[in-house]
Amino acid sequence: MTEMSFSVPLSDIIRQFSLEEVYLPCDPAQVQITSTDVLRPGLQLTGYFDHYDSTRIQIVGMVEYSYIKTLPDEQVINVFEALFSTGAPALVLTRGLEVVPGILQTAKAHNIPILRTEQSTSAFMSALIAYLNKELAPRITRHGVLVEIYGEGVLILGESGIGKSEIAIELVKRGHRLVADDAVDIRKVSAISLIGSSPKVIRHFIELRGIGIIDVKRIFGIGAVKDTEKIDLIIHLESWQQGKAYDRLGLVDEYTNLLGIDIPSLVVPVSPGRNLAVILEVAAMNIRQKRMGYNAAEALNNRLIAEMNGGNQFDDGF
C-alpha cells in the first residue's frame, strides 16, 4: 500500500472551468496547485496578512472589487504589491469583472497569472473547491478489484490468484459494473467518503488467467464499466481454512480502516462449489439494508428472545 501527495496543474483548472486567460506569464501546465483551499482576499486588501496562505488560488468577487474601486490607483498598486510579493498561484476574477490596471501591473511585476470567469463568486468557489478536493485528495493504491453491485461500491481484496477477477467477470455478466481490476486508486474525498477508480493505463481491462487481457467495455458494452465509485463495502477473500470459526450470524459489525475511514467489511472464505458472485450480490443488498436501518441478524436475535420470553409477535422491520 502506497500513499502519495498530489498536485494539479493550473492548465487543468483553466480547461475544467473554461477560464479566460487575461494574463499568463508562463505555461499554466508548469504552475502546480497544491492546496484544496481558496482565498477571497478581504482582510489582505486592508493590509492584514497574519495566517495568509500564499499557496491558495486568490478569488476577487464583487465585494472585493467594489472595495478596490474605492481606492486611489496608487493604493491599489500598494495593496496588490503586498499581496503578490508573497506569491500566489493565480488570481481569478468572477462575474466577468474588468481588470483594474493596478492589479494587472503588479501581476506582471510578480508573474502572477490573471484569469476570469463569468460565473458568480459563490458558484465558482464551491465548484473549484469540490474539484480540488477530488484532484488533491489523499490517496492510496490497493491490489484488488472494485465493482458496483446494485449501486453499492464493493472493493474485493485477497491474495493473488484467489479469483477476484473471475468473480468480477461473473458479476459483470449478471448486470453489474466493473470499476477497476488489479490496482484500485482510492481517494479520500471527504471525512466520511472514499472514491475508487482505476489507473488510466489499465482502465476497463481485466486479466483472466488462462485467457489473458480482455477489454470489458468492448466485450460487454459501455454499460458494463464505470470510471469511479464510492467504496461502501470491503470483501476480504481467503482460502477456506479447516477449523477456523467464520462469522455465521453477523451480529458484530466488522470494519477495515482506509485513509482514516472505517469501511464495513466481511471475510468470505473461498472453497470449491461456492457461488461467490451471488454471495457478493447478497452482501451488497444486505449492507444497503443495514444502512437503511434493518439488520437481519438483530431481527432474528429479537425473535429468539421474544420466543424464549413466551412472545409470539415478531417485528420484521417493514
Each residue's pLDDT tens digit, 109-144: 999 999 999 999 999 999 999 999 888 888 899 999
The string of pLDDT tens digits covering residues 50-60 is 888 889 999 99
CA distance 99 to 22: 8
What pLDDT is attached to residue 40? 93
Least confident of 1-15, 38-52, 161-175, 230-244: 1-15
Please name the residues in contact with 133: beta carbons below 8 A apart, sequence gap of 6 or more: 36, 189, 190
The structural domains of the chain, with segments of one domain joined by +, span 2-135, 139-300
CA distance 289 to 280: 14
- Give the pairing of strands 8-9 and 20-23: unpaired
The string of pLDDT tens digits covering residues 57-115 is 999 999 999 999 999 999 999 999 999 988 899 999 999 999 999 999 999 999 999 99
What is the Cα gyration radius of the chain? 27
Q: What is the pTM of this model?
A: 0.74
Q: Are 157 and 186 in contact (CB under 8 A)?
A: no
Given the candidates 3.40.50.300, 3.40.190.290, 3.40.50.2300, 3.30.70.890, the CATH classification of the domain at 139-300 is: 3.40.50.300
Q: Pick the residue with more confidence: 16 or 4?
A: 16
Name the one residue in this structure whose C-alpha cell is 467594489: 66
Q: Give the other-Cβ count within 10 Å of 191's Cβ.
A: 7
Task: Tell me what the mean pLDDT of segment 162-190 comes to.
Answer: 93
What pLDDT is attached to residue 2? 45
Residue 235, CA distances (Å) to 69, 164, 195, 238, 267 in order: 59, 10, 16, 10, 6
Do 2-135 and 139-300 come out as alike in CATH topology?
no
Q: Is the pLDDT of residue 318 over 60?
A: no
Please report which confidence band the pLDDT of residue 312 belongs to, taking 50, 70 and 90 as the band edges: low
What is the set of active-site residues?
Answer: 143, 164, 182, 248
CA distance 127 to 109: 30
The three cell numbers locating residue 55: 499557496
CATH superfamily of 2-135: HprK N-terminal domain-like (3.40.1390.20)
CA distance 39 to 59: 6
Residue 296, CA distances (Å) to 151, 243, 311 in order: 20, 26, 19
Residue-wise DSSP of 145-176 = EEEEETTEEEEEE--TTSSHHHHHHHHHHTT-
